[in-house]
Amino acid sequence: MTDRDSSRTLPHPATEEIRLEGVLHALSDPVRLSIVRDLAASADDLSCSHFDLPVTKSTTTHHFRVLRESGVVRQAYRGTTKLNALREEDLNTLFPGLLASILTSAQAEAARLGAGA
Amino acid sequence: MTDRDSSRTLPHPATEEIRLEGVLHALSDPVRLSIVRDLAASADDLSCSHFDLPVTKSTTTHHFRVLRESGVVRQAYRGTTKLNALREEDLNTLFPGLLASILTSAQAEAARLGAGA
């Protein structure tokens, strides 16, 4: 995230404002959980349009906002594209091991249900 | 509550019906999370009336139902009392380490925010 346009920054909670309940709520939706799994598996930040989600564009935007406002992802504009990154370091500072545990559980569940990915 | 005949058992998901999203949703509410923390800290099953919650009785009933239907707690009648137990073994079978990780995170957050207990 290099190109900065201060007029287009999006609001994020500071690390100390992140709440466990908000993180769990954000991850309790299958679409949002799949976004987080993709981000965790990617070496790069990913644009919203990268994700092929079974929901409308406005619902996609909603899901990303929930993830951002709960402190799970950081979103920044690069040109007209919103790039998304997991806030792994912040989450691990507050809740050591939690994100890894949820991701492992999600993978186990997907394998168990034969849902792949 | 559909108490029928002499059998007053309540419906529970089988272990394999428990879903990660449902568990995370159940734990994303502060009241439900506090119930689960109390159950985890107790050697015994606890009645609903054991919990001193800042909500009405009907809301309390709702929270316990969400916990039961998501597979987080098991509820059983003993006389007229409903006893609650964490389904730790079932959850650990499906999602090893997840519950412990969430409970540790909840404790860290409570300590951080000075919310005690």
Q: What is the ipTM of this complex?
A: 0.89
Note the pLDDT tens digit of each residue in A50-77: 888 889 989 999 999 999 999 999 999 9
Would you identify the CATH topology of the domain A3-88?
A: Arc Repressor Mutant, subunit A (1.10.10)
pLDDT higher than threshold 90 for residue A48: no
pLDDT of residue B1: 46
pLDDT higher than threshold 90 for residue B4: no
pLDDT of residue B88: 96
pLDDT higher than threshold 60 for residue A3: no
CB contact under 8 A, B106 and A27: no
pLDDT of residue A117: 45
CB contact under 8 A, B94 and A109: yes
CB contact under 8 A, A109 and B95: yes
Residue B93 forms contact with A (CB below 8 Å): no
**Region B82-102: what's the mean pLDDT?**
96
3-class DSSP state of A78:
strand
Residue of chain A nearest B95, judged by CA positions: A105
Cβ–Cβ < 8 Å for A107, A117: no
Cβ atoms < 10 Å from Cβ of B36:
22
- The torsion angles phi and psi of A115, rounded to 5 degrees, stand at -85, 0
CB contact under 8 A, A112 and B102: no
**Region B73-85: what's the mean pLDDT?**
92
Token pair listed for B114: 């000075």
pLDDT of residue B48: 87
Token pair listed for B2: 């559909």
- pLDDT bin (cut points 50, 70, 90) of residue A45 is very high
Rounded to whole angstroms, how far apart are CA atoms A93 and A31?
25
Helix (H) or strand (E) holding B83: strand B81-86
pLDDT higher than threshold 70 for residue B101: yes
For residue B25, list chain A residues with Cβ-Cβ distance below 8 A.
24-25, 28
| Option in B19, B22, B109 nearest A20 (CB) | B109
Domain boundaries along the sequence of chain A: 3-88
pLDDT higher than threshold 90 for residue A104: yes
pLDDT of residue A7: 55
Closest CA of chain A from B3, distance in Å:
31
Residue of chain B nearest A19, judged by CA positions: B109
**Structure-model confidence comparison of residues A114 and B73, the more confident one:** B73
- pLDDT bin (cut points 50, 70, 90) of residue A115 is low
CB contact under 8 A, A25 and B28: yes
Up-side HSE of residue B13: CA atoms within 13 Å toward CB?
20
> Is A99 exposed, middle or buried (CB count within 10 Å of its CB: 0-12, 13-18, 19+)?
buried
Residue A108 forms contact with B (CB below 8 Å): yes
- CA–chain centroid gap for A44, Å, is 13
- pLDDT bin (cut points 50, 70, 90) of residue B7 is low
Rounded to whole angstroms, how far apart are CA atoms A59 and A62?
5
